[in-house]
Amino acid sequence: MVSRVIPVETFDLVIFGGTGDLARRKILPGLFRRFRSGQMPVGSRIIGAARSEMDTAAYRSMIAEAVAEFGGDEKNDTKSLDAFVAALDYVAIDAKGDGGWVELAGLVRSDVVQAFYFSVAPSLFGDLAERLHTHKIANAQSRIVVEKPFGRDLETARALNKTLAAHFDESQIYRIDHYLGKETVQNLMAVRFGNMLFEPLWNNHYVDHIQITVAETVGVGGRGGYYDKSGAMRDMVQNHLMQLLCLIAMEPPNQYGPDEVRDEKLKVIRALQPVAPHHIVRGQYDAGPDGPSYREDAENPRSFTESFIAMKCEIANWRWAGVPFYLRTGKRMKARSSEITVYFKDLGHTIFEGDVARHRNILSIRLQPNEGMDLQVTIKEPGPGGMRLIDVPLDMTFADALGPDAEEVPDAYERLIMDVIRGNQTLFMRGDEVEAAWGWTDPLINGWEARNDVPKHYEAGSAGPEDALAMLHRDGRKWRELKA
């Protein structure tokens, strides 16, 4: 495959929080990869802006070290790394005061694409947005990028939207959900809307149920204090899992454009039904050989926050009525695996001996690890012995399909940042989508808080609490096995 990297326009990218964990671990190593692949035009600048007092030389060393620590093999390309860090500047800035703003105004050019990445706590968004205007740095074409968490409920999300809207138009605001930047997630749309094969079957006539799993093996250690105020529902479901659910369930947009796609996603969220308490299982991991329990990690011996959640959801529309969507996500689980699985219905009748229910088509879309898809199909078992059927996967692991070119595939952050520079909002959440998502999750969270629901325990390294397995068992179904 020939490299198809399309350069973007020259840009100035200001990273507020440019010394923080996210900037050092993801944003800057990602930008270095784009730089190496020739996507960052000569003359573009990246300006780190954060609280620490340091000069540009010290910042360049910090970022070179971050790339060495968090980058892939490309970090060994020291010549490119030197050229990349030469495109970095640094300004010590106070989001809440006046320090650094005049210097920043002197660095940001008005005749190139301007993007401001708010990689700081959401409590600073308003201060940054306001000062970008009072210091006449931002203009009507500037873009701002904001990170999760986007609020912790509908009220706070509305307040954040209002704060940003006071200074920027919705068309300038890029709310990142890095799940949307994953190659497979976009492939999900390509598969659905680029093939004759799937879309005609994508409805309650042919689909039995859909599972969305995001399982992690790590616990919350290190950020237990933050996580304990959030939990799996706020941290994972309200954003990542709901975005995946929207893409799998939405109607075909009339074209692949930002508002067309986001309008359809919004309709899915609005069609989601309230979930009854017996269709929600919340869990907390126990201590295991590899680490402490959730409560020890969270340093809160009385915590009721969930590190696992499984839910049975329904979308009340013509396409999906009667098709359950089972969602689950958790920490300290058996395997790290993010997957969407579409279970098609059984054949109504079989001409072969045996059980009609034994063989069914299953399409699985893997986000991690080994991004790719496979489709389980039934074929005749090769060889003599009569007509015996077996299920085999038609496997398309992207790394195998693309060969060495898989290296070229940008990771989620890289792709999304380049989309910001291109001015393409398709893979970013719109304000009304985020509010609608909170509008669905708020009553569920308020419900279990009001009932003082105690999360179920689960063994670290397992598939979650027994009750989550039982929830599907009652429906005559089972969770897809978690495989690393």
Active site residues: 240
The annotation places the binding site at 17-24, 51, 148, 178, 182, 216, 235, 331
| Closest approach of ligand NAD to the CB of residue 461, in Å | 23
Distance, first Cα to last Cα, the chain: 29
Asked if 52 touches ligand NAD (CB under 6 A), the answer is yes
| Closest approach of ligand NAD to the CB of residue 119, in Å | 5
The tokens describing 420, both together, are 């910001």
Between residues 110 and 123, which has the closer beta carbon with respect to ligand NAD? 123
Centroid of chain to Cα 19: 23
Angle between helical axes of 28-36 and 56-70 (0-180°, round to 10): 80
| Closest approach of ligand NAD to the CB of residue 63, in Å | 12
For 315, which DSSP code?
Answer: B
| Host H or E run for residue 425 | none
Between residues 93 and 191, which has the closer beta carbon with respect to ligand NAD? 93
Q: Which of residues 86-105 bind ligand NAD (CB under 6 A)?
A: 93-96
| Closest approach of ligand NAD to the CB of residue 59, in Å | 11
Q: How many CA atoms lie within 13 A of 477 on its CB side?
A: 22
Position with the least CB separation from ligand NAD: 20
| Closest approach of ligand NAD to the CB of residue 195, in Å | 33
Three-state DSSP state, 52: coil
Q: Which of residues 195-214 bind ligand NAD (CB under 6 A)?
A: none
Q: How far apart are CA 88 and CA 216, in angstroms?
A: 34
| Cβ–Cβ under 8 Å, residues 35 and 88 | no
The annotation places the binding site for NADP(+) at 17-24, 51, 148
Q: How many residues make contact with ligand NAD (CB under 6 A)?
A: 22
Q: Which of residues 114-173 bind ligand NAD (CB under 6 A)?
A: 119-122, 124, 147-149
Between residues 28 and 472, which has the closer beta carbon with respect to ligand NAD? 28
Greatest distance between any 2 Cα atoms in the chain: 82
Query: Which x/- pattern, by CB under 6 A, does the window 10-49 give for ligand NAD?
Result: -------xxxxxxx--------------------------
The annotation places the binding site for substrate at 178, 182, 216, 235, 331
DSSP string, 148-212: S---SSHHHHHHHHHHHHTTS-GGGEEE--GGGGSHHHHHHHHHHHH-TTTGGG-STTTEEEEEE
Q: Where on the chain is the footprint of ligand NAD (CB under 6 A)?
A: 17-23, 50-52, 93-96, 119-122, 124, 147-149
